[in-house]
Amino acid sequence: MKNSFRILAFVFLFMAFLSIPIRSAAAEKLSIPDDCPCKGSITDLIDAYNNDKVFKVHIDEAFKNMQPVPEGFMKGGNPWIGKSFADLIPFFVEWSSFLPEVKGSSDNALKYIGQMDLFSYENPFGRVAFQTSPGVEIFDRFARERGEFLSSRASTKYVAKWLADTRIEKEEYVLPDPAAADGGFKSYNEFFSRKFKDINKVRPQTMPDRDYIISSPTDATVNPIPAKIVDGTTKLRTKGTQELNIKELLYGSRYWNKFVGGTALSCVLMPNTYHYYHAPVGGKVIETRLVDGALVGMEDFVKFASTDGNVGGHGASFGAFESYARGYFIIDTGKYGLVGVVPVGLSTVGSVVFEDKFLKAEGPVAIKRGDELGHFLYGGSLVILVFEPGKYSSDAIKVRLGNQIGIFDTSSSN
């Protein structure tokens, strides 16, 4: 993927110097409200478009190459078709102060995230625009500024409605003020990263003394990535046509080659669920790392976020995540080999947070299955689990009697 970016960048650079004068009258007239939480990053976006020839080419070519989405995926189709840079600024302004709301038995938490991911849908120009400089730095600043807003008191406007949603199961969580309609949370991010009162009661580990059991690292939609990493190029072919480079995903970890020929699982978190992630196996954490990266640029969001609700399911591409903001834990289980746990921040999640004891460790850290590893703040997020060859066949998810296998649409009972 890095080589393809270099080639595209060279082509774009050549195009830029052949292009018409850079300054755009439309961009010059754009204004940002003084109270916009992300005014700094949006100003940077306008400045880059006006003053950086290559970035302007990326953006303009992205708009020229917007692709239609399959019928029924999104009402009105791809919202970027027929638009221009002048439409991008009000979109970011609106997004900067957007607060997710419950809508019946669902929610609109992914409203702007989904639209932004369609900017790069089957569109390499759109992907490169925000995965290379200066776009990647601009969007990172946008995510940080929006994160500050979501950590402010002003972001609690709809928390009471979220807590009234039966899917939240608020009685299981620690609420700063149980008598308050908004639970006493001081920000949306505080609500989003809420913790269980008693995790051993509400999410007990299956037979915790059995070392051969693998647990879900969090509340998630879990799907296998069943094909093996087939050769030394470390390319893991998913159910679709995309590839995941395990060496890049693990950012050159000293252990990446252990997973060649192995298997993987995708665990996608949803906005209304618990957002801490835990150890899926016991053993020793022998390596951890936080990796800076892009926050947008999924080339096939349509297949990843399927309308049937099976996020990350059949046909989903995981190739984009090797360049996303992420982290990883390498856990040595002993007789079952190494297990990679890779939390990935998607679409404004720059907050892949690890517990301090792992970041500050000077040697291996012993853990039990179910121990807390870290958490995410608001946005899209997933955890990828990677296994050594011959240790786990991920063709299907195996569950035990009494475990959840799905949930009803609560609106169907109304």
pTM here? 0.82
What's the distance, CA 81 to chain centroid?
24
State pLDDT tens for residues 271-302.
888 999 999 999 999 999 988 766 665 555 44
- For 198, other C-beta atoms within 10 Å of its C-beta total 10
Q: What is the dihedral of CA 183, 187, 192, 198, to 10 degrees?
A: -40
- Could you tell me which residue, 98 or 15, shows the higher pLDDT? 98
Q: Where are the beta strands (DSSP E) in 94-195?
A: 102-103, 106-107
164-178, 284-298, 328-342: least confident range: 284-298
Size (the chain), residues:
414
- For 247, other C-beta atoms within 10 Å of its C-beta total 18
Q: Answer whether residue 140 shows pLDDT above 50.
A: yes
* Cα gap 373→356, rounded to integer Å: 9
When pLDDT is cut at 50, 70 and 90, the band that residue 236 belongs to is very low
Q: What's the order of all strands across the beta sheet hosting 326-332?
A: 221-225, 263-269, 380-387, 338-346, 326-332, 283-291, 365-367
* Cα gap 138→296, rounded to integer Å: 12
* Cα gap 22→57, rounded to integer Å: 9
* Cα gap 370→205, rounded to integer Å: 7
Half-sphere exposure of 395 (CA within 13 A, CB side): 2
- For 82, other C-beta atoms within 10 Å of its C-beta total 10
Structure tokens at 255: 């252990």
- For 257, other C-beta atoms within 10 Å of its C-beta total 14
Q: Which of 221, 204, 236, 226 is closest to 369 using CA atoms?
A: 204
Q: Which of 89, 13, 6, 93 is closest to 52 using CA atoms?
A: 13
pLDDT of residue 45: 97
Q: Answer whether residue 246 shows pLDDT above 50.
A: yes
